[in-house]
Amino acid sequence: MGLSGEVSPEFHFFLQRPAKTTSYFFNYTTEIMILSESVSQEINMSCYHCGERCPTEVIRLDEKLFCCEGCKIVYEILSEKNLCNYYDLNAAPGKTQKILPLKNKYEYLDDEELTNKLLDFKDGKISAVTFFIPQMHCSSCIWLLENLFKVNSAILQSRVNFIEKKLSVSFQTSAISLRQVVELLAFIGYEPQISFEDTEKKSQNLVSKKLYYKVGIAGFGFGNIMLLSFPEYLSIDVSSAELRAIFSYVIFLLSLPIFFYCGSEYFVSAIKGLRKKFVNLDVPISIGIITLFTKSVFEIFAHGNPGFMDSLAGLIFFLLLGKIFQNKTYDVLNFERNYKSFFPISVTVKKSGEEKAIPLSQLKIGDRIVVRNGELIPADSILFSGDGNIDYSFVTGESSPVEKVVGEMIYAGGRQSGSSIELEVLKEVSQSYLTQLWNNFTTKSSEDFSFSGVANAFSKYFTFAVLVIAAVSYFYWMNIDHNVAVNAFITVLIVACPCALALSTPFTLGNTLRIFGKNDFYVKNIRALENLGSIDTIVWDKTGTLTESGESEITFVDGTLSSKEMIWVKSLVRNSNHPLSKKIYASINEAAALKIENYLELPGKGIQGEVSGQKLKIGSEHLFEQFAAEAKTPGELETVPPPLSSEVYVSINDEVRGKFKIQNKYRHDAATIITRLQSKYDSYLLSGDNESEQLYLENLFKKKENVLFRQAPLDKLNFITRLQAKKKRVLMLGDGLNDAGALAQSNVGISVSEDILNFTPASDAILNAKMLKKIPGFLKFTTISIKIIYASFTISILYNLVGFYFAVQGLLSPLFSAVLMPLSSISVVVFATVTTTYFARRKGLL
């Protein structure tokens, strides 16, 4: 604010016209000084702890400003414990403490059974636990979290894994309880996210560690075998046969772990595929590896030369490297979330007048639970007391809250807004409507072939062709020279080993995955990426995907209303079921229960009535005569997005007092994105919401039948299934639980989220909502990547053809193979990474 006000017009001039001469520059330095001073003042007005702008009543301590009591308390604690280094590492590293956690929120952590499930380790004296803390964002966070022992000496050690946003804490059980540890963290602004899912431990990481071991061993073997093969490469005549034998035997020993340990997974996968009558790319690879190995073993023991062992080691080494590259995982993100991670871990139960927090797993039918404002209803239940105003937007997509009265059934998954309510649990958590729905959804079959679909589809023909070529060359040579025939047969199999082919997909798609990751678009794996390249239909969810999620911003402009008048307004809008009325109702904090007389609803215009003898009118401009002249014709209204900003006027005793401005709605570029994508893909919209925006959306999606409203989660799922029955390959973009089924059913499900660390339903990819505008670019780039894969295939086939040319003549020497194989692999890898990077740059993704 102060910025534009204090800057002199000269400075604006300076900004517009960069100084071409030094004199300009000197003339305006004074201005710059003034400006920077005003800027620094601006910064000083922000909270020392969290950096947020301080409100008008600032809290001061030690000449520092704080935006709220909470931030000040955290500062006090840290300064008392001599931990102010926290503020030196980064400016204002904290998180605002305006909303303090409820006092007995963590009461459930006193439950021993539950804590045992959360703890990683426990031996009576010391316990260890790992928390997920998404708030950590800078080195100050790491520093403070690793210095927890200075805050409370009962904490022995705390270690941060910044990438995974995890904190491992070990503490003395006698001096501090798990609950106190959590409360301590919450208190200093790092409230751990503990969800129902955490109580079920699962081990990961083992797979990737194994891969590292394998690469290490293969690399070790590869290097040493190459070294020992040098005499062969340089055709040095090793005069001593003894020495030659030693070389060969050492090579043999080195090759054993490579063949049996590092290469084993290819055999396993090949056999798995063949059992399912499916020739995957691991089949020709396994044929190649086994032929290489047996041929070399034979050479070593029969002739004392190392044969093709160097090629074998190099091959496996490169293949494993490709595997590491494609296994780019996003540790922080969870693509497999189920309802358990959405649900809270505890629930407040009322027993004989006392409120107690218990773990969700202990919730029983018939329990009386208390659900406060903003809390989630964990199980299907009946409203016992209080005004139910349930926001189901995350479950159904319906944007306006549903009112419930005592005795009505409330399904799990809704959020109570308003005062707290009491409910009686009807069904167990795992039996609720929502969780049932979730369990019904078919999960995509997760075949774990090591290679992508494209490569596997190709490998059937490839393997067949290789076997034919090998057989033909064998029979051709058989009558001429038996030795050459055997040699040709074997070398064809060796040279056919599709190493380069196998590397092209992991490197192309792995690189694409990384490029997307840099753009906040996180794809689960390369298989999902391939599917993304083949889609022809896009289905959009409306609420939260095309529109901004969360509550709309409601402000009263062009005038003011006293709190008394606000109560009148609130009392009046309470009678209306119009979504806008409900939003205004929810936005006014004052208590309201005034009686309305002469209430009248004028459809399409607004509402009017009398409160405390005052005549109130609330509605669109059509309601007021003075606006009638300016009112737009209905036709005009249909082409402009109506909801970008709704205005609701308020008049008291026929005097217009101002208007409510209700903003949120469509994301910035939603319309442009949809129009752009329509030329290439069939686009549909499935909304759980009502038809209030029908006309606009139908205009946007061109076809009337492509826009569907009031879609329940199951309707969405069925819609996708119907499209797929028509052989469509469907991309679904959604955000909430209501889309979970559709996301799982579609060929590719992208869940759009404002905060990717927050809950997202199970999906193939997670997209930061801000990057929605890049969706056309992502899709385009995926198709380019697929084309790059085909190009790399061509290159690797060319190498194979060169190899075949020599192999069928029985001329393939070990040395030639040792050069050809790594050369082909490396050139394909370089081609794949360089081209993807190049196109990503051109498409503005890097």
- Would you tell me which residues interact with another protein (CB under 8 A)? 139, 142-143, 146-147, 149, 153, 155-157, 159-164, 205, 209, 212-213, 216-217, 220, 223-224, 227-228, 239-240, 242-243, 246-247, 250, 254
Rounded to a whole number of angstroms, the minimum distance from the CB of residue 323 to another protein is: 15
Distance CA 781, CA 800 (A): 28
Phi-psi region of 68 (alpha: psi -120 to 50; beta: other; left: phi over 0): beta
- Indicate the residue among 95 and 165 with the shorter CB distance to another protein: 165
**CA–CA distances in Å: residue 210 to residues 261, 451, 527:** 10, 18, 21
Rounded to a whole number of angstroms, the minimum distance from the CB of residue 524 to another protein is: 20
Whether the CB-CB separation of 799 and 494 falls below 8 Å is answered with: no
- Indicate the residue among 170 and 699 with the shorter CB distance to another protein: 170
- Indicate the residue among 110 and 146 with the shorter CB distance to another protein: 146
Q: What tokens does 630 get?
A: 């300016």
- Indicate the residue among 21 and 239 with the shorter CB distance to another protein: 239
Name residue 648's beta-bridge partners. Answer: 660
- Indicate the residue among 98 and 159 with the shorter CB distance to another protein: 159
Distance CA 404, CA 383 (A): 8
Residue type, 461: Y
Tally of CB atoms within 10 A around 725: 8
Name residue 555's beta-bridge partners. Answer: 661
Instruction: Write the CB contacts of 294 (distance below 8 Å, at least 6 apart in sequence).
Output: none
Instruction: Give me the half-sphere count of Cα atoms (radius 13 Å) on the Cβ side of residue 476.
Output: 13
Rounded to a whole number of angstroms, the minimum distance from the CB of residue 770 to another protein is: 23
Rounded to a whole number of angstroms, the minimum distance from the CB of residue 591 to another protein is: 49
Rounded to a whole number of angstroms, the minimum distance from the CB of residue 220 to another protein is: 4
- Indicate the residue among 228 and 470 with the shorter CB distance to another protein: 228
Residue type, 448: D
**CA–CA distances in Å: residue 49 to residues 37, 44, 76, 134:** 21, 11, 10, 18
Rounded to a whole number of angstroms, the minimum distance from the CB of residue 373 to another protein is: 37
Instruction: Write the CB contacts of 701 (distance below 8 Å, at least 6 apart in sequence).
Output: 674, 678, 683, 684, 685, 707
Distance CA 371, CA 360 (A): 13
3-state secondary structure of 390: strand
Rounded to a whole number of angstroms, the minimum distance from the CB of residue 523 to another protein is: 21
Rounded to a whole number of angstroms, the minimum distance from the CB of residue 142 to another protein is: 5
Whether the CB-CB separation of 248 and 303 falls below 8 Å is answered with: no
- Indicate the residue among 254 and 731 with the shorter CB distance to another protein: 254
Rounded to a whole number of angstroms, the minimum distance from the CB of residue 85 to another protein is: 8
- Indicate the residue among 166 and 659 with the shorter CB distance to another protein: 166
Q: Supply the Cα-derived Rg of the chain in whole angstroms.
A: 34
- Indicate the residue among 243 and 457 with the shorter CB distance to another protein: 243
Rounded to a whole number of angstroms, the minimum distance from the CB of residue 757 to another protein is: 16
CA 605: distance to chain centroid?
Answer: 42
- Indicate the residue among 61 and 757 with the shorter CB distance to another protein: 757
- What is the β-pairing status of strands 748-753 and 765-768? parallel
Distance CA 604, CA 578 (A): 10
Instruction: Give me the half-sphere count of Cα atoms (radius 13 Å) on the Cβ side of residue 271.
Output: 4
